[in-house]
Structure 1
Amino acid sequence: MSTERRPDGAGPSVDDAIRALLLLMPRMIGRVKRVPVPDELQSLALGPRHLSLLSYLLFDGPMTVNELAARLEVAPTTASLMVGELSRKGILRRQEDDDDRRRRIVSIADAERPAIDAWLARGAVAWRQALEPLTPAQRRMFIDTLLAYENAVEGRS
């Protein structure tokens, strides 16, 4: 099986692309799973849902629970529960919004930021290296393809 471009300039056939991805995806997932959680965070039992929440706060900065919920595509109550859990563990901090005292702004605790940054930075750098050479349209197609695959695996196609 070859995933090289054919002489006519076209990419691999659908079957060749599927074969390549059937080999690639388990390797990628295995490598991601082997990225060690920093020692400082080992005892906190962080899961994939926490990883996404922490990624948004790390890369986009402090935000409200409602903003986090929208980005995570979960209900505000779910995001609030996650924030509460991570706040009790000392990973996140909640503070009043100076402009609206009823709102709480969520951020990564200063003491935990270096460990979280070190943990998540490798993945962000890898995605940047993979996505930067693509045009915006190609990036959109890549994301849409992954979403379509996720939906198909879940039986939602």
Structure 2
Amino acid sequence: MSTPGLHEAGEGDGKGVDDTVRALLLLMPRMVGRAKKTPVPEALRSFSLAPRHLSLLSYLLLDGPTTVNELAVRLQVAPTTVSLLVGDLSRQGILERREDEADRRRRIVGIAPAHQAAITSWLAPGAAAWRKALAPLTEEQRQIFVDTLRAYEAAVGGGEAD
């Protein structure tokens, strides 16, 4: 039996999709709640870090120092947006900018050594949890998972999936 207002005619394949939707409607709020309960380390609390900073810091934590342009590509935002974020975090001493030895016109952005341990203790457990959850899947299954989350995000936001 379909729940009035939740099921729209012509969407999905009936009971199987609805059962999965029910499971996700229970799971997603718990996941978000747990993520929100992850405490910001004491050493970082005074910086008023926002969600927009987390993806940037996560990329730097996982991939190491890189350029503003590369961060913009990964974050799917304009380089000027990343430049503003990097400027904000650099002024606070969370990030460091240095010349690229191979091309002195470029700047390399990295996590400041003074904050590396705190950022690692904060963000690495989430990355480890994703690795554990995704490890049993094939590369194709992982891509389907990511594509599904993107499609969900687009549908909730009223946009179209990539």
Do they superpose with TM above 0.5? yes
| 1:10-49 map, 5 Å | 13-49=16-52
- The AA in structure 2 aligned to 1:70 is V
Where do 5+ consecutive residues of structure 2 fail to align? 1-14
Partner of 2:101: 98
1:31-80 deviations in Å (ceiling 9; x for gaps): 00000000000010001110000000010011010011111111000000
Deviation at 1:86, TM superposition (A): 0.1
Which of 90, 96, 111 aligns to 1:87? It is 90
Q: CA RMSD in A?
A: 0.8
| 1:5-154 map, 5 Å | 13-154=16-157
Instruction: State the aligned residue count.
Output: 146
Report the TM-score, using the length of structure 1 for normalisation.
Answer: 0.91
Overall identity of the aligned pairs, in %: 68
- The AA in structure 2 aligned to 1:56 is Y
SS of the residue aligned with 1:107?
strand
Query: Residues of 2 paired with 1:59 and 1:103: CA distance?
Result: 21
Query: Residues of 2 paired with 1:97 and 1:138: CA distance?
Result: 37
Where do 5+ consecutive residues of structure 1 fail to align? 1-11
Report the TM-score, using the length of structure 2 for normalisation.
Answer: 0.88
Query: Residues of 2 paired with 1:71 and 1:50: CA distance?
Result: 13
Shift >6 Å, 4+ stretches: none
Query: Residues of 2 paired with 1:155 and 1:92: CA distance?
Result: 34
Deviation at 1:97, TM superposition (A): 0.8
- The AA in structure 2 aligned to 1:111 is A
- The AA in structure 2 aligned to 1:101 is R
